Amino acid sequence: MSVCRENLRRTQDPLFLWTVITGDESWFSVLEPKQKQQSCQWMHSSEKCPKKALHSRQVHKTMMEVFFDDQGVVHLEFLPPGMTVTSKVYIGILSRLREAIRRKRPVLWGNNYRLLQDNAPGHKAIKIFATMVETNMHTVEHPPYSPDLAPPDLWFFPYLKSQIWGKIFASVPDLQDAIMEEISKIPRALFKQCIQQTLPH
């Protein structure tokens, strides 16, 4: 509760939301399965239900890490095959994020931005905390069990996956190209709306 009160207090500052950068990671598959409603079909009561092929999601998939603010994507990268987000990997990602902020958001460079991330173990390890202290990286506290305060999971990833649901890609690079193309189509207004709705003011 105290974390929520503090975040609410911060949002009273009209410039606070402008400084928030949020991020997370998610898997994308070469075969993005259709939603249940998309795969429904009418069947006679005497007919057998059609069998659906099971596709392995272990080989042809890619993990994407993304960070964005109310203006759009600040940093995005696809992890190498087989790699997951450990504390060591995340430290490297944060280093590249800082460089992206320096290049793309020079006004926020230094101590003028706040990182909003969830409480995943790979984000909250002691080594991560030490790196953030060393680099003067400030954060917006994320209350436990509050998925509604994770903008990437609340809006960005579901929206992006809805654009490629049911599509089959020949390879992981083709999938990554499609993801980048869809991201380029997202209006800046949606990013701003997401940040504002996540941290109402």
**What's the CATH code of the domain at 155?**
3.30.420.10
| Total domains present in the chain | 1
Position with higher pLDDT, 92 vs 167: 92
CB pairs under 8 A, 24+ apart, for 157-163?
157/24, 157/26, 159/186, 159/190, 160/186, 161/28, 161/32
**pLDDT for residue 89:** 95
- Residue 168 main-chain phi, psi, to 5 deg: -115, 130
Q: Can you tell me the distance from the alpha carbon of 112 to that of 98, in angstroms, rounded to the nearest whole number?
A: 12
46 in a structural domain: no
181 in a structural domain: yes
**pLDDT for residue 111:** 78
Residue 187 has pLDDT above 90, yes or no: yes
41 in a structural domain: no
Which region among 40-49, 63-72, 175-184 has the lowest average model confidence (pLDDT)?
40-49
For 79, residues 6+ apart whose C-beta sits below 8 A from its C-beta are 25, 62, 63, 64, 65, 85, 89
Which pLDDT band holds residue 200 (cuts at 50, 70, 90)? Answer: low
**pLDDT for residue 38:** 45
Residue 146 has pLDDT above 70, yes or no: no
Which pLDDT band holds residue 37 (cuts at 50, 70, 90)? Answer: very low
Residue 130 has pLDDT above 90, yes or no: yes
**pLDDT for residue 82:** 86
38 in a structural domain: no
For 124, residues 6+ apart whose C-beta sits below 8 A from its C-beta are none
139, amino acid identity: T
Residue (of 29, 20, 26, 44) closest to 137 by Cα position: 20
Q: Can you tell me the distance from the alpha carbon of 27 to that of 34, in angstroms, rounded to the nearest whole number?
A: 15
**pLDDT for residue 42:** 57
Average pLDDT over residues 16-24: 90
Residues paired with residue 26 on neighbouring β-strands, in sequence order: 64
98 burial class (0-12, 13-18, 19+ CB within 10 angstroms)?
middle
63 in a structural domain: yes
Q: Can you tell me the distance from the alpha carbon of 18 to that of 6, in angstroms, rounded to the nearest whole number?
A: 17
**pLDDT for residue 197:** 81
**162 lies in which domain range?**
2-33+58-198
**pLDDT for residue 25:** 95
Position with higher pLDDT, 183 vs 2: 183
Rg (C-alpha) for the chain, rounded Å, is: 19
**pLDDT for residue 120:** 78
115 in a structural domain: yes
43 in a structural domain: no
**pLDDT for residue 50:** 59
Residue 168: DSSP 8-state: B
- What percent of the chain shows pLDDT beyond 70? 74
**pLDDT for residue 57:** 44
Average pLDDT over residues 43-72: 73
Residue 11 has pLDDT above 70, yes or no: no
40 in a structural domain: no
